[in-house]
Chains A and B, each alone.
Chain A
């Protein structure tokens, strides 16, 4: 049973370019979470999605960041016009449901984004 898959594992972009990070949840999971870990900090919640719906984006920066989880295919975190401050590790997690205490969030290995 494959775990949560993220790709690419490492991504290098120049300032002003776009970054696309992909997350394939575990089989049977329809809930996806994205977290960001800036250098020397803990993981911070960004966004929570169900299939075709953004449920909670309270942790997403207001500009340049967007996320989707289409009916078919992986969840995508998109960062437009990247800046050096976007350099971080981005983790995706999935769960069968989003409700508290009913299940665990399973994490992928992360994508390490470096902006030159």
Chain B
């Protein structure tokens, strides 16, 4: 079955540092790939997505490129801010036998940015 493996946390960085959170996946077919973010006390929000190989998703300074050859979708940001402190989830989606989209998530990586 489908699975997502992401970098274990917690990750602590200083403000303006470079961020990478690794994510690799195992899937049959051609899934779409996502990064979701969860701020304290809130639900998961879609951060960015890519629907096919070599696509790059980007939002709020974050980027991730769909790498089919390495089955990876690593999240990067050049200069993090304190407000980026949150839990980040990598996920993939594929169609179920019923035609609906099912998401499979990684375990989440807690990121803390210190001033």
Is this pair of chains taken from one and the same complex?
A: yes
Given A42-B108, A56-B96, verify A99-B44 contact (CB < 8 Å): no
**Which one of A13-21, A60-68, A79-87, A102-110 is at the B interface?**
A102-110
> Which residues of A are found within 8 Å of B102, using beta-carbon distances?
45, 48, 56, 59
Name which residue of chain A comes closest to B36, CB basis: A107
Interface contact A55-B100, CB-CB below 8 Å: yes
Interface contact B42-A109, CB-CB below 8 Å: yes
B10 at the interface (CB under 8 A from A): no
Q: How far is the CB of A46 from chain B (nearest CB, A)?
A: 10
Interface contact A98-B99, CB-CB below 8 Å: yes
Name which residue of chain B comes closest to A40, CB basis: B107
Between A and B, how many residue pairs show CB distances below 8 Å? 76
Q: How many chain B residues touch the partner (CB < 8 A)? A: 29
Chain A interface residue bracket vs B: 20 to 34
Interface contact A101-B51, CB-CB below 8 Å: yes
Q: How far is the CB of A92 from chain B (nearest CB, A)?
A: 9
Given A101-B51, A105-B101, A107-B36, verify A42-B4 contact (CB < 8 Å): yes
A35 at the interface (CB under 8 A from B): yes
Q: How far is the CB of A56 from chain B (nearest CB, A)?
A: 4
> Which residues of A are found within 8 Å of B99, using beta-carbon distances?
98-99
A70 at the interface (CB under 8 A from B): no
A43 at the interface (CB under 8 A from B): yes
Interface contact A104-B46, CB-CB below 8 Å: yes
> Which residues of B are found within 8 Å of A44, using beta-carbon distances?
104-105
Interface contact B45-A107, CB-CB below 8 Å: yes
A73 at the interface (CB under 8 A from B): no
